[in-house]
Structure 1
């Protein structure tokens, strides 16, 4: 009984240390994607003079629409792989007093590549009779 108590006491004390083998057991963390995923090909479609509704149609609802800066919308995007921030982008669009697009600042995600399914023919080629 004395050996059991001594062994359990040693294990409990080593569990409190920073080099404990018990610290190797960590919870699983998932990848988290947050915000607006705005690609460069969509940003290229923006033109000066577009209305707020047209910008919202292309980019989606902004993550931040500050009432103190009513002429500015911010589109933020972050991607965390586990507990590490691997991707972070911010895109800001500015409007004039009439609600027309004047300026775009920041960085967007690279344009998406076409998939193999996009290259496939839509209908089979006709087969000729010999």
Structure 2
């Protein structure tokens, strides 16, 4: 009789533990946005030749700067939705020796656009 009771408890426990993976979708998880909140409107205002002050006014403070000087700024926008995949867009702004924008590079995970992340 104790063997039958053990088997019933083991099967019941197995079903309860398997059920936890289905309950995960019902649990509320907030969207987590990290880094610089970037908009397509702000990025469209960036132009080669602008000064560092103009870039600060448009984009705000950079998330990271180059460790070898203040000539490269990184703006990173990372989004982790409730039950989806993490998306990230990085803008790398390079400055020349005069302090003007020389190059703007965009890197995105999964070819994500800023409009899709908003």
In the superposition, the TM-score normalised over structure 1's length comes to 0.62
Aligned match of 2:21: 23
Change (3 A) 1:11 1:92: same
Which ranges in structure 1 are unaligned for 5 or more consecutive residues?
111-130
Which ranges in structure 2 are unaligned for 5 or more consecutive residues?
108-112
Cα displacement (A) at 1:5 = 5.0
Cα displacement (A) at 1:86 = 5.4
Of Structure 1 and Structure 2, which has the larger fraction of its residues in helix?
2
Aligned match of 1:67: 67
Aligned match of 1:79: 79
Aligned match of 1:109: 114
- Give the greater-gyration-radius structure (CA): 1
RMSD (Å) for aligned C-alpha atoms? 3.1
For this pair of structures, how many residues does the alignment match?
107
List structure 1 runs of 4+ shifted beyond 4 angstroms.
1-5
